Copies of this chain bind each other. A is one copy, B any other.
Amino acid sequence: MNRIEKHTVTNREKFINAMIRDILSGRWNPGDKLPSQREFAEKMGIGKTVIQSGFEHLAAMGLVEIKPKSGIYVADYMKTGNIETLNAIVQLNGSELGREVIVGILDLRLAIEGTALRALSLCRTSEDVLRLRSLTEDIRECSVDVGLEELAERFFLWHREICILSGKPILTLFMNTMHDVSIAFWVRYLGMYGLDFAVDRLDRFIDFIEARDGNGAYDLLAAGIADYLDRLENQA
């Protein structure tokens, strides 16, 4: 692991994590009015500012709705939530994601990365190809030294590079938005297929890009995702 010796947990984090757990586990229901910031502060024996800051964070994750000067309510997060909500769910449930959630995520990934692959295949330069090959080599080399999380991060960066090189900066922004969720996915993927298989696939992507075969690259991605879902189906 890379962040074992996590800095001492602050009161703010303690509060946030407790609230995430309580809300996602159903201790409170959407629409419920929460106790006031002052009550939370008193109960935890800390200042109100800390609670305020924590609620700001929870609101950004779409878990609560703050009505100024009135109160704070549990949000109907599956309706009003955003990608941060998904991150919170992924973080809490670890690898225990439902198939439905995974399908949704992969639909999006195919859309984002498929578009990038097609665009890059059209506009790629020889430098682009070299860059990707070099990244692939790095992954192969470092694979014995680093942990699973770090490897997942490398795979994420490899695929993000596709977006960056494709000349479609918006796709890169979306890719980054899905960072946390993607890491959870890659950890699972690497555990399921093994590193060698995964790295070989990267090479095949590069081959398609080098040959300017955008559809080939897209189909490879689509087939990979379909196979992944099949395995998930069968193992469950």
Contacts and interface: CB of A to CB of B under 8 A. Distances in A.
Interface of A: 53, 60, 62, 78-83, 85-86, 100-101, 103-105, 107-108, 110-112, 115, 164, 168-174, 176-177, 179
Prevailing SS type, chain A contact patch: helix
Nearest to A77: B173
A230 to B, nearest CB: 19
Contact of A176 (B82, B108, B115): B82
Nearest to A175: B82
Given A60-B60, A111-B112, A79 B170 contact: no
A58 B112 CA distance: 25
A100 B119 CA distance: 12
A83 B100 CA distance: 23
A81 B101 CA distance: 24
Give how many copies assemble into the complex: 2
A82 B176 CA distance: 5
Nearest to A160: B79
A223 to B, nearest CB: 18
Nearest to A168: B104
B101 A108 contact: no
Question: Which interface residue of A80, A83, A100, A112 has the most chain B CB atoms within 10 A?
Answer: A83
Given A81-B172, A82-B173, A82-B179, 8 more contacts: A79-B164, A83-B173, A86-B170, A86-B173, A100-B170, A104-B170, A104-B174, A108-B108
